[in-house]
Structure 1
Amino acid sequence: MSTMTQTATNKPSLEIKLCAPRGFCAGVDRAIQIVELALQKYGQPVYVRHEIVHNKYVVDGLKAKGAIFVEELDEIPAEHAERPVIFSAHGVPKSVPADAQQRNMFYLDATCPLVSKVHKEAEIHFRRERDILLIGHAGHPEVIGTMGQLPQGTVTLIETEDDARRFERERSDRPLAYITQTTLSVDDTAGIVSVLQDRFPDIVAPHKEDICYATTNRQEAVKHVAPGVEAMIVVGAPNSSNSQRLREVAEREGCRVAVLLQRADEINWADFEGVTSLGLTAGASAPETLVEEIISAFDERFDVTVEIVRTAEETIAFNLPRELRDMPAQTEKATG
C-alpha cells in the first residue's frame, strides 16, 4: 500500500490523470441531439425504442424532458401512433422499421453512422454470396441489429478465440468474410481475427476496421495512463460494452483497482485507501458532468491535482436526419 502524503489541509494527496479523449463520441452526441431536437420540434411525447444510449443519467434526463422509452413498438399506445419514435444509436434489425411502416408510424433513425457502415458491409457480403462471421457479444443490441439486417441463419456470431477455432465452413467453395461490433476490445478482437486469418487465409476483412475510432481512442488513452497509476475508474453503465472494455483494459495493464461506476455515490472508498494516483476516464455514452461529479467526490476527501493526459484529438461530427437539420443543436459535445 502506498504511503499517503499529508498536506496543510490534512487531506492525503491524490493525483488524478484524466484520460482524453473520454466520454461522448460523435455517434452518442448525435443520438441524444436527435431526441432533444425531436422534442423541441414535435413536442411531447417522443417515443424511443430501447435506451437511446447505455447511460441511465442520460436516459433519465431525456425522460424528464418528455421522452418515453419502450423496448418494442407494440408498447406505444394506439392513440399515440402518430407520435415520433426514435431508434437507438445501437441500430435495429430491418424488421423494426418495417414494423413501424406497417403501423404508419413516423420514425427517426439515430443509429450511429459507424454502425450503419457495418450494416452496409454485411449486405455487400451477402450480395456477393459470402458466408459472414460477426465478431461480437451475444445479446448486445448492436449485434442483434447487425444480424437482423440479413435473413436468419445468414450470419454466424463469433464471441471468442475458441469460437473462431471451432467454426467450420459449411461449404468450402463459398468465400468467407468477417465484420465486427464497433465497441469491442481492440486487443481481444485482434486475437480472434488472427485465429480466423490463420485458419482461413482467404477471409475477407473490412476495408476499414469496424471498431469505431472512439472505442479505439479511449482504449489507447487507458493503455497510456493505467501503467502509471494505482487505480482506474471508468465512468459508464454496466450494460455499456465500450465502458466494460475500458475497465478490462485497465485491469490488463496492471491496475490493482479497476472499477466501472455510474455515479459518485457508487464509490467504495475502501478501494482507494492509500491510493496516491488515480486514472479516470469515461465510456462513450457517459456525459462529462458525471466525470466532474467523481472528481468533486475525491476532492472532498483528498487534496486533488488533475493532469489531463491526451493521446488523440477527435473532431468528427455526424449529420442529423434531414427532418431535424433546421433545428439549433443543444447538447453536450464529445470530449475530445
Structure 2
Amino acid sequence: MSAIQTKPPLTLRLCEPRGFCAGVDRAIQIVVLALKRYGAPVYVRHEIVHNKYVVDGLRQMGAVFVRELDAIPDDGQPVVFSAHGVPKTVPAEAERREMLYLDATCPLVSKVHKQAMRHMRLGRTVLLVGHRGHPEVVGTMGQLPEGTVVLIETEEDVAAFEPADPAALGFVTQTTLSVDDTAGIIAALQAKFPEMQAPASESICYATTNRQDAVKASAPGTDLFFIVGAPNSSNSRRLVEVAEKAGSKRGLLLQGPADVPLDDLMPGHVIGMSAGASAPEVLTDAILDALRERFDLRIELVQTAIENENFPVMRALRDVSLTKEDMAFVNGDRPLAGERTL
C-alpha cells in the first residue's frame, strides 16, 4: 500500500481591502455603459486603468485604445478619458472637433485638480509631489498654466528648490503615492518653507491608504509578499515597496498566476498577498488556485478597513441597464479563460 501523498503546508496572509477601488470601478463601468449605449467602437484615450487584463477585456468588447485624440476618426463615436485625468487641452481639443467625450477621471483625482487650482487662484506657486511622467501627474500639471506647477519627486528636490517667494507656496500630491515616503517629503517641505499651505484635505486617496495599511499589518515576518497588479500601476508598485519596508523579506509584483514563483516557495513559508486598486479579483482568485494545487494552503485574512465608497457615473449613462454578465466584468469577476462580447 502506497503512502498517502500530502501537500506541504503554506500560510498566506490575505489583505483586505485589496483590488478595485470606487474610482476604478466607475471608470470601467463608464466604458461598458458607453458600449451598451452607443455601440462599438468606443474610443479610450490611454489605458482606462493600469491593468492589461482589464484593458484586454474591454478591447474584446469593442473598446479601441488610443494614445491621443488625433488617432480617432470623425465617426461620431464617443471617446472616454481615463481614470487618471487629462490636461485641460484634451477636452478643449475634443470640443473643437465636436467629439462626444465622457470623462472617467476619478473624483478623488478631480479633487486634487481643484485643490491645485485653488492654490493658484490665491497667488501661490503649486508644488506637486508625484512621479514624473505618470498620467495622473501629467493631467494635474495640465490643469494650470505652464510654469505655475513645480514637480517634487524626492527630498533632494526639496533641498534644491529655491522659489521666488517662499511665502507663496501650496502643495498637492499624486493620489497613489506611498503614504510614508510622501510624509517625509512633505515634512522636508514644511521645515524649509514653514509658510507653505497644505490642501484643504488629504490628496492621497482612501484606497491607496487602506491598501498600504493592510500590507503593513500583514508584512512582518513574511518570506514573500505578492502584490497583484501591473508594472505600470503606481499604487501597485508602491505596495511592493511598502511590504518590504514593513518587514517582508521580498516583495513581488504578479500580473497573474503564471508569475507565481512556485519553486521559491518552501513548506512552512508565510507569504502575504494584496492587490492594487486596478487589479480585478479574478486574478487574485487564480493565484490562490495555483497555490492550492501545490500546497495545503492556510489563509489568514488581515482586514484593516471596510470600504463602501461608490462614485456614480455621469447622468448621460445612468439609465443604461447592465446584465449580470456585464456587472461581473465591471466588478472584476470575468473568467480568465474564454472570449466575451456584448
Per the normalisation by structure 1, the TM-score is 0.94
Is 1:230–1:275's contact at 8 Å kept on the other side of the alignment? Answer: no
Change in Cα spacing, 1:321 to 1:9, as seen in structure 2 (3 Å) is: farther
Q: Which sits farther off after the overlay, 296-305 or 274-283?
A: 274-283
Q: Residues 288-327 of structure 1, C-alpha deviation per residue, up to 9 Å, x if partnerless? A: 0000010011111111122221100001001111111112
SS of equivalent residue, structure 1 residue 227 = coil
Question: Which residue pairs with 1:32 in the alignment?
Answer: 28
Q: Residues 259-291 of structure 1, C-alpha deviation per residue, up to 9 Å, x if partnerless? A: 001011112223323452111100000000000
Out of 78, 98, 102, the position equivalent to 1:104 is 98
Question: Which residue pairs with 1:77 in the alignment?
Answer: 73
Out of 249, 261, 266, the position equivalent to 1:256 is 249
Question: Which residue pairs with 1:319 in the alignment?
Answer: 312
The correspondence of residues 105-124 of structure 1 with structure 2, limited to 5 A, is 105-124=99-118
Question: Structure 1: how far apart are the matches of 2:268 and 2:14?
Answer: 16
Tell whether 2:190 aligns with 1:194. no
Change in Cα spacing, 1:181 to 1:271, as seen in structure 2 (3 Å) is: same
Q: Which sits farther off after the overlay, 254-263 or 58-67?
A: 254-263
Equivalent AA in structure 2 for residue 256 of structure 1: K
Out of 52, 57, 61, the position equivalent to 1:61 is 57
Tell whether 2:88 aligns with 1:94. yes
Is 2:78–2:101's contact at 8 Å kept on the other side of the alignment? Answer: yes
Question: Which residue pairs with 1:211 in the alignment?
Answer: 204
Question: Structure 1: how far apart are the matches of 2:222 and 2:191?
Answer: 37
SS of equivalent residue, structure 2 residue 219 = helix
Question: Which residue pairs with 2:6 in the alignment?
Answer: 10
Change in Cα spacing, 1:100 to 1:327, as seen in structure 2 (3 Å) is: same
Tell whether 2:275 aligns with 1:282. yes
Equivalent AA in structure 1 for residue 58 of structure 2: L
SS of equivalent residue, structure 1 residue 255 = coil
The correspondence of residues 236-315 of structure 1 with structure 2, limited to 5 A, is 236-274=229-267, 276-315=269-308
Is 2:222–2:247's contact at 8 Å kept on the other side of the alignment? Answer: no
Tell whether 2:178 aligns with 1:166. no
Q: Residues 197-253 of structure 1, C-alpha deviation per residue, up to 9 Å, x if partnerless? A: 001111100121100000000000000000042211000000000000000001112
SS of equivalent residue, structure 2 residue 272 = strand
Question: Which residue pairs with 2:336 in the alignment?
Answer: none
Is 1:25–1:334's contact at 8 Å kept on the other side of the alignment? Answer: no
Q: CA RMSD in A?
A: 1.5
Long gaps (5+) in structure 2: 334-342
Is 2:221–2:249's contact at 8 Å kept on the other side of the alignment? Answer: no
Question: Which residue pairs with 2:337 in the alignment?
Answer: none
Is 2:222–2:270's contact at 8 Å kept on the other side of the alignment? Answer: yes
Question: Which residue pairs with 1:44 in the alignment?
Answer: 40
Tell whether 2:50 aligns with 1:20. no
Change in Cα spacing, 1:288 to 1:8, as seen in structure 2 (3 Å) is: farther
Tell whether 2:122 aligns with 1:128. yes
Question: Which residue pairs with 1:176 in the alignment?
Answer: 169
Q: 1:165: Cα distance to partner?
A: 1.5
Q: Which sits farther off after the overlay, 233-242 or 298-307?
A: 298-307
Out of 126, 132, 135, the position equivalent to 1:138 is 132
Equivalenced residue count is: 326
Change in Cα spacing, 1:164 to 1:287, as seen in structure 2 (3 Å) is: same
Q: Residues 65-86 of structure 1, C-alpha deviation per residue, up to 9 Å, x if partnerless? A: 00000000001123x2x10100
Is 2:229–2:276's contact at 8 Å kept on the other side of the alignment? Answer: yes
Question: Structure 2: how far apart are the matches of 1:134 and 1:271?
Answer: 40
Equivalent AA in structure 1 for residue 7 of structure 2: K
Equivalent AA in structure 2 for residue 13 of structure 1: P
Q: Residues 118-153 of structure 1, C-alpha deviation per residue, up to 9 Å, x if partnerless? A: 001111111111011000000000000000001111
Change in Cα spacing, 1:8 to 1:152, as seen in structure 2 (3 Å) is: farther
Question: Structure 2: how far apart are the matches of 1:38 and 1:121?
Answer: 30
Long gaps (5+) in structure 1: 1-6
